[in-house]
């Protein structure tokens, strides 16, 4: 007779499906079957090669949406794993497998928390929803962003959204992400004139021309941040120019850079200020901007209060509110006016070889999610 908790059991079933982005490999159907049994209305939403679904239970009142992704990052060389990455293995209180922490454990906790809540409160106030994608770890073009567009067409706006990203640092529940910085990337091409290094007057070296402007960009103070966000960061992530030999002045320089920006500045302001600096140095250049997501923040409100209080109730921890880290699908949901928080297990091993999650934390997370439902809908 199994002594596994329902959350551990479902986490194992999800890990066993090799859902490397953008493939779902049946993970969503596992969840849908459980939600159908609870009376959820489920809409499958496939956009190009990406599976998504929207599920909702209840007829009226505010909507609490559980959001997450079934896709995982590639494993890397499987020979480097102590156990096969898609064969969930429980050892010394830890569950190993790709997606254990990011974020199949959270998905399982969401489903089981809702099952337990509905069993106790079959006629609960409000509506419970799930927004699940298999395109979060990849290009994120046909996942949550498309589901949000569909929701807007249906005139559906979640009031609250709980994203199951692994937010915790040392202990489950010690950190809640109540916002994220925006991400604005750019490919900059600086044009010069190729020539022989012995005749520089007959050429124009784009590397030499670019250095003063790049130096100014790296030293610019874009903002000072605020209570929730650090100052906006500018980072050059790639730079390339030249033919690979010593005697040729290159004809162009290619630079890739990124802004991680706070709510103190807009992406349009960053673009305009970058152009002003480049123009000041009289460069011949082109810019190819890529906005991955706007900064978003849920500084306070019913959802933050419910998350903080539920963590305190279940774990005794005083959760820290944080906006640190990379982007998440919360960036697509928050612009609807939805209160968004991210709350999940410890993130120490995400995307790593031998990714794992503490087995006890899976049940802690389930209890926290259920407590949040009770605080919002009872």
Using an 8 Å Cβ cutoff, are 167 and 173 in contact? no
Q: Select which of 25, 51, 136, 355 is catalytic.
A: 136
CB neighbour list of residue 120: distance below 8 Å, 6 or more residues apart: none
3-state secondary structure of 208: helix
Number of Cβ within a 10 Å radius of residue 124 = 18
CB neighbour list of residue 213: distance below 8 Å, 6 or more residues apart: 277, 278, 280, 281, 283
Can 136 be counted among the known catalytic residues?
yes
Can 71 be counted among the known catalytic residues?
yes
What is d(CA 95, CA 355) in angstroms, rounded to the nearest whole number? 8
Give one word for 72, left, alpha or beta, with left for phi > 0 and alpha for psi -120 to 50: beta
Q: Select which of 71, 135, 252, 363 is catalytic.
A: 71
3-state secondary structure of 13: helix
CB neighbour list of residue 149: distance below 8 Å, 6 or more residues apart: none
Positions marked active-site: 71, 136
């Amino acid at each position: 007779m199994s002594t596994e908790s329902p959350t551990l059991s479902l986490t194992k079933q999800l890990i066993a499906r090799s859902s490397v982005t953008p493939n779902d490999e049946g993970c969503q159907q596992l969840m849908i079957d459980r939600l159908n049994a609870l009376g959820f209305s489920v809409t499958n939403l496939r956009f190009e090669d990406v599976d998504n679904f929207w599920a909702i239970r209840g007829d009226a009142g505010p909507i609490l949406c559980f959001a997450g992704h079934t896709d995982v990052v590639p494993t890397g060389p499987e020979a480097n794993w102590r156990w096969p990455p898609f064969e969930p293995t429980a050892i010394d209180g830890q569950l190993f497998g790709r997606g254990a922490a990011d974020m199949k454990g959270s998905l399982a906790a969401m489903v089981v928390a809702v099952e337990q809540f509905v069993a106790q409160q079959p006629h609960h106030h409000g509506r419970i929803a799930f927004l699940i994608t298999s395109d979060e770890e990849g290009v994120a073009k046909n996942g949550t962003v498309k589901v949000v567009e569909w929701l807007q067409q249906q005139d559906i706006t979640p009031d609250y959204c709980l994203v199951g990203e692994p937010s915790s640092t040392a202990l489950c529940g010690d950190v809640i992400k109540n916002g994220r910085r925006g991400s604005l990337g750019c490919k900059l091409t600086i044009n010069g004139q190729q020539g022989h290094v012995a005749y520089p007057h007959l050429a124009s070296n784009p590397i030499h021309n670019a250095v003063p402007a790049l130096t100014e960009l790296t030293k610019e103070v874009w903002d000072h941040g605020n209570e929730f966000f650090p100052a906006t960061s500018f980072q050059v992530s790639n730079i390339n120019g030249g033919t690979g030999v010593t005697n040729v002045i290159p004809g162009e320089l290619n630079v890739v850079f990124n802004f991680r920006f706070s709510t103190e500045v807009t992406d349009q302001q960053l673009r305009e200020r970058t152009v002003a600096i480049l123009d000041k140095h009289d460069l011949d250049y082109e810019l190819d901007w890529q906005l991955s997501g706007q900064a978003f923040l849920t500084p306070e409100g019913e959802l933050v209060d419910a998350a903080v209080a539920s963590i305190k109730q279940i774990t005794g921890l005083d959760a820290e509110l944080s906006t640190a880290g990379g982007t998440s699908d919360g960036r697509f949901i928050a612009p609807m006016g939805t209160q968004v928080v991210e709350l999940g297990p410890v993130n120490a091993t995400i995307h790593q070889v031998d990714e794992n999650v503490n087995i006890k934390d899976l049940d802690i997370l389930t209890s926290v999610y259920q407590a949040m439902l009770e605080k919002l809908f009872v």
